[in-house]
Amino acid sequence: MKLRYLLSYSVNFLVFFHRIHELLSSNSLNCVRVLTYHHIPESKLWQFKHQINYLASKYVFITPVQFQEFVQKKQHISGINLLITFDDGFKSNFLVAKEVLNPLGIKGIFFVPTNFIGQSDRKYQKEFIVKKIFNGDNENTEISSDMEPLTWGDLKYLLEHGHVIGSHGYHHRCLSLIYSQNDLYEEIIESGDMLEKKLGVPISYFAYPFGDINSINKHTVDLIKGRYKYCFSGVRGANYFPVSSYAILRDSISLNDPLMYVRFIIENGVDIMYRRKIKKLLALTRDRVSPI
């Protein structure tokens, strides 16, 4: 039996422990967990809907604006709250928003690689997906027929329905492996500038490609700070106040995971494994936060 299934059985105990801790301790467990999804195949849309409905029955989904106010200490939250995000700019995200999120009143952040948006040539789409999004992994990458980019019209639709657009780079390149200042400027600065020009709204959110601790460094963080108000990572963890605006933690969620295992993640069940990475990420941002 896979470990994730075994861990799923302990989630009820974990939830009970947290609730008792909240009642007996002066230390607040109020936090926001940011969930990350990528491409959602149309054949699995029902599965995504089932997962989101389940999570919505257990937790409160907050909006990007509410999250921003939480970071700025303008809004108090209670318990574990969820913010949903999507990476890579796949067309399926439009369908997810239209068919699942909008009817539930859930608003998300869609991080897109600018040079992928609106590309209609199928050969270019496949090359971008393999070389950029999947980092050249040809053997373990299956590109389905519905894996294509969002259009600029799709992004405008998302904005009109209360969602937020953020930059996910220009070519979805690993920032820590870029040594050309011009290329870094294009990936970090120009990606956001182009989104602003095309969409006519401020772009304040950035999620660096791949999201792991080795895909970013101090120099790239400084560039991000000079252009954006918030930077999202792919390092797992809960965001407690005071939140580092440039070291926002996110949990990648798979539709193949059992619901109870997803809840185990949300209830801080695996956080201890990421403490070192969180500390390293915080050190890169030089933001003063409470000890982990």
**Per-residue pLDDT reduced to its tens digit, 248-284:** 999 999 999 899 999 999 999 889 999 999 999 999 9
Q: How many domains does the chain have?
A: 1
258 within a domain of the structure (yes/no)? yes
- Terminal-residue alpha carbon distance, the chain: 32
Q: Which of 71, 67, 102, 68 is nearest to 82 (CA)?
A: 67
Least confident of 22-31, 52-61, 94-103: 22-31
290 within a domain of the structure (yes/no)? no
Q: What pLDDT, in 10s, does the model give residues 182-231?
A: 999 999 999 999 999 999 999 999 999 999 999 999 999 999 999 999 99
Q: What is the pLDDT of residue 105?
A: 97
105 within a domain of the structure (yes/no)? yes
Quote the pTM value: 0.90
225 within a domain of the structure (yes/no)? yes
132 within a domain of the structure (yes/no)? yes
d(CA 105, CA 243): 25
Residue ranges making up the domain that contains 99: 3-285
- CATH number of the structural domain spanning residue 254: 3.20.20.370
19 within a domain of the structure (yes/no)? yes
pLDDT confidence tier of residue 286, bands split at 50, 70 and 90: confident
d(CA 86, CA 167): 11
CA distances from 9 to 2, 28, 154, 220, 257 (A): 12, 25, 40, 41, 13
292 within a domain of the structure (yes/no)? no
Tell me the average pLDDT across 145-171: 96
99 within a domain of the structure (yes/no)? yes
Q: What is the pLDDT of residue 13?
A: 45
